[in-house]
């Protein structure tokens, strides 16, 4: 037997929230690389349809499970993506959202500790709140309202980060923490309330495009393929690279610029309608990705125009199926 064959060891990887938007793309990429994937999801926001092409794959397993309940499996790596990420969904049951972030982190960290697996936490740029530092670096502690409508998500994710670093310090669990900024692409829930899906669906349906405030608040938009590449690079980075590391596209756009680009690419004649700004909605959001460039040799490759050109056909197909 050759040394190459003898040294090969298939990696068994758990992806929580794997039937969701980012999770489904991650599962597919891991399978393409020859890994064995256990996808866990409670299907609150995820969907089997996102994984249709993987369901019969011999290296893929799908399990209905809620991460607030302990899970006993044998795996080498854990990507913890389980948590509703859009305001519409995480505000539907805010207590459960907090439980998913906090209890879910405890359960997945406990699993990682037992089986000595490396674990990556999908944290969020929302830990920075409405930032007074711009762009946001990982050293910035944030400006978060602890008792607002968004707090179940923001503070849940902040607490999860605390748990990850305490398990690292106290139990030597191998951790990775990614702070994910706005990400978009195929498999987004068409009615999740996030700005890209909102604008594209409104434009395709010929409905008014809803902007909050004056539309001058800014966001940065990362295409999902770029984000998945970053997550995998972080997971497989040297052990002393724990994060947190910002992952997102540093190109900054106003919400109005996004709306106008969506109108151009869809050919829609929808009008722009302005409504009051929601409570605690950040005015600026752009990542400093210096650490990702240096430690992961990563930066986004897909521009907003290119990404929208790839994503819009997905939303068109959703409307046709509907």
The second-level CATH assignment, the architecture, of 10-321 is 3-Layer(aba) Sandwich (3.40)
Q: Which helix (H) or strand (E) holds 38?
A: strand 36-41
- Residues listed for the chain: 322
Judge whether residue 4 has pLDDT over 90.
Answer: no
Q: Quote the pLDDT of residue 1.
A: 38
Question: Does residue 95 sit in helix, strand or coil?
Answer: helix
Mean pLDDT of the chain: 92
Which residues are annotated as catalytic? 153
Nearest to 257 by CA among 220, 205, 227: 220
Specify burial of residue 142 (Cβ count, 10 A radius: 0-12, 13-18, 19+). Answer: middle
What is the rounded CA–CA span in Å between residue 209 and residue 7? 55
Task: Give the phi and the psi of residue 85 in degrees, each rounded to 5.
Answer: -110, -10
Nearest to 285 by CA among 162, 186, 150: 150
Task: Give the phi and the psi of residue 78 in degrees, each rounded to 5.
Answer: -130, 125
In the chain, % of residues over pLDDT 90:
79
Q: Quote the pLDDT of residue 189.
A: 87
Q: Quote the pLDDT of residue 122.
A: 98
- For residue 40, the cross-strand partners are 16, 63
Judge whether residue 256 has pLDDT over 90.
Answer: yes
Q: Quote the pLDDT of residue 280.
A: 60
Degrees, nearest 5: CA angle 92-83-219:
85
Judge whether residue 314 has pLDDT over 50.
Answer: yes
Contacts of 17 (CB under 8 A, 6+ apart): 23, 40, 41, 46, 67, 80, 81, 82, 83, 122
Phi-psi region of 71 (alpha: psi -120 to 50; beta: other; left: phi over 0): beta
Going from the C-alpha of 183 to that of each of 137, 220, 251, the distances in angstroms are 18, 8, 13
Higher pLDDT, 102 or 285: 102
Could you report the per-residue pLDDT of 60-97, keeping only the tens digit for each?
A: 999 999 999 999 999 999 999 999 876 777 788 899 99
**Average pLDDT estimate for 202-223:** 92
Nearest to 250 by CA among 298, 196, 216, 306: 298
**Average pLDDT estimate for 192-220:** 91
Could you report the per-residue pLDDT of 147-193, keeping only the tens digit for each?
A: 989 999 899 999 999 999 999 999 999 999 999 999 999 999 888 78
What is the rounded CA–CA span in Å between residue 49 and residue 206? 26
Residue 5 binned pLDDT confidence (cut-offs 50, 70, 90)? very low
Query: With the C-alpha atoms ordered 195, 201, 206, 207, is the resulting torsion angle positive or negative?
Result: negative
207 and 244 Cβ atoms separated by less than 8 Å: no
210 and 273 Cβ atoms separated by less than 8 Å: yes
Could you report the per-residue pLDDT of 23-62, keeping only the tens digit for each?
A: 999 999 999 999 999 999 999 988 999 999 999 999 999 9
**Average pLDDT estimate for 279-293:** 84
Could you report the per-residue pLDDT of 93-149, keeping only the tens digit for each?
A: 899 999 999 999 999 999 999 999 999 999 999 999 988 888 999 999 999 999 989
């Amino acid at each position: 037997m050759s040394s190459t064959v003898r040294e090969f060891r298939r990696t068994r990887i758990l992806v929580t929230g794997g039937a969701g938007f980012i999770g489904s793309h991650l599962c597919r990429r891991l399978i393409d690389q020859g890994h064995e994937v256990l996808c866990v999801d409670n299907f609150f926001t995820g969907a089997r349809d996102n994984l249709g092409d993987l369901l019969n794959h011999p290296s893929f397993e799908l399990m209905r499970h809620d991460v607030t309940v302990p899970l006993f499996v044998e795996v080498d790596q854990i990507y913890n993506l389980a948590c509703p990420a859009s305001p519409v969904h995480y505000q539907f049951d805010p207590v459960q959202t907090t439980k998913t972030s906090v209890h879910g982190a405890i359960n997945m960290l406990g699993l990682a500790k037992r089986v000595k697996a490396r674990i990556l936490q999908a944290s969020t740029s929302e830990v920075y709140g409405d930032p007074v530092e711009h762009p946001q670096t990982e050293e910035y502690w944030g400006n978060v309202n602890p008792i607002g409508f968004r707090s179940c998500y923001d503070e849940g994710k902040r607490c999860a980060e605390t748990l990850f670093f305490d398990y690292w310090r106290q139990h030597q669990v191998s951790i990775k923490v990614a702070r994910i900024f706005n990400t978009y692409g195929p498999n987004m829930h068409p009615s999740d309330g996030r700005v890209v899906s909102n604008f594209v669906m409104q434009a395709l349906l010929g409905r008014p495009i809803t902007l909050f405030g004056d539309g001058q608040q800014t966001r940065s938009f990362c295409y999902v393929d770029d984000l998945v590449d970053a997550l995998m690079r972080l997971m497989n980075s040297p052990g002393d690279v724990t994060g947190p590391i910002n992952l997102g596209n540093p190109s900054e756009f106003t919400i109005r610029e996004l709306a106008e680009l969506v109108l151009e690419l869809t050919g829609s004649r929808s009008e722009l309608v302005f409504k009051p700004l929601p409570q605690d909605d950040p005015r600026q959001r752009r990542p400093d990705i210096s650490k990702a460039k240096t430690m992961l040799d990563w930066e986004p490759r897909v521009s907003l125009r290119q990404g929208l050109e790839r994503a819009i056909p997905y939303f068109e197909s959703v409307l046709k199926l509907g």
